[in-house]
Structures are given as C-alpha cells and as structure tokens.
Amino acid sequence: MTNQQIAEDIVAKFGENSHSFEEPWGLLTLTTNRQNIISLLEYLKQHEIFRFNFLTDLTGIHLPDNKGAEFGVIYHLHSLENNVRIRIKVFLSQDDIHIPTAITIWPTANWMERETFDFFGILFDGHPNLIRILNIEEMDYFPMRKEYALEDATREDKIDALFGR
C-alpha cells in the first residue's frame, strides 16, 4: 500500500473535492473542503484496506496572507494496521469560519477541537461543548492568530550601524 494507491483511491471517490496532493517527507498530504471533510474522514476510517482508524492530531493554522482561506484545520490520521499516516487540510475563510465536528467519528476530537477553537476561534458545528479549554473563559480574543504578534526575540529591529552592518 503506497501513497500513490491511497491518493488514487481518494481521487476516484472524491474527485475534485480532494486536491493539492503533496508528499513532504513521505507523508501524503491533501486538501479538501468542509462539505466533504466528514465523509472523507469516515471513508478513510471505514475503508477495508486503508483503515485509518486513529486520529493522531487535529490542529489549526492561521495564514493571514492567504486571502479567502485564512484559516486551516489540519488532521493527522494514522492507520495502525498498515502503519501509514495521512494529513488532511481544510481551509476556511475568516468571514465564515465554520467546519463540522469530527466527534461523531472519534470522541478524542472533542478536546482537540476545543483547543483549536480556543486558540484560533475556528467554530466546530455540532460540537457539544465548544468552550475554551486552556485559556480563561473571559478572554475575548484568539491568541494564536497572527495579528497578536509577540515581541521579537530575534531582534530584527536592532540598529545595524551598531553591529557594523
């Protein structure tokens, strides 16, 4: 079972709804949309050969320059039987930042989605308890978004003349 086979199978089933296939460091990566994400996850979990039965990780990313698709949700699945991993991405616009929850497939998605909501403000539709998990509840912003920049420890603003440059 190679990445090629998995990719071909997904394309045969989902067609244009799965795109941007990549293989960074041997890990099959693909992008889908939020209409198809749950059916894709379910399909991969129930597939009789692939059996991606383990949700390793679910997290978010903020790409403010990526207009129209500023937020990403990234799923890492693992097929324990075949020892193959796959990474699935869904990109969302910041004006409509909704994605269906994956709790129906894996209960473990519960806290992972709460964490993603807590830090990025991504709304998981159908989540039974979408509240903050690590930050205080009174917080009124989403700290991992790129507009909240930290002080630059690498000091790009230092005066070059003082350093002979």
Q: What is the contact surface with another protein in residues (CB under 8 A)?
A: 24-25, 27, 29, 53-57, 59, 61-62, 74, 76, 80, 83, 85, 87, 106-108, 110-112, 115, 119, 132-136, 143-144, 148, 150-155
- In whole angstroms, how close is the CB of 65 to another protein at the nearest point? 10
Backbone angles phi, psi at 80, to 5 degrees: -70, -30
Count Cβ atoms below 10 Å from residue 16 Cβ, excluding itself.
8
Whichever of 117 and 119 has its CB closer to another protein, that residue is 119
3-state DSSP assignment of residue 39: helix
- What share of residues in the chain are helix, strand, coil (percent, to 5)? 25, 25, 45
Whichever of 4 and 135 has its CB closer to another protein, that residue is 135
- In whole angstroms, how close is the CB of 12 to another protein at the nearest point? 25
Residue 20, CA distances (Å) to 31, 64, 134 in order: 6, 19, 33
Whichever of 37 and 120 has its CB closer to another protein, that residue is 120
Whichever of 13 and 47 has its CB closer to another protein, that residue is 47
Q: Tell me how far apart the alpha carbons of residues 133 and 129 are, in angstroms, rounded to a whole number.
A: 10
- In whole angstroms, how close is the CB of 101 to another protein at the nearest point? 14
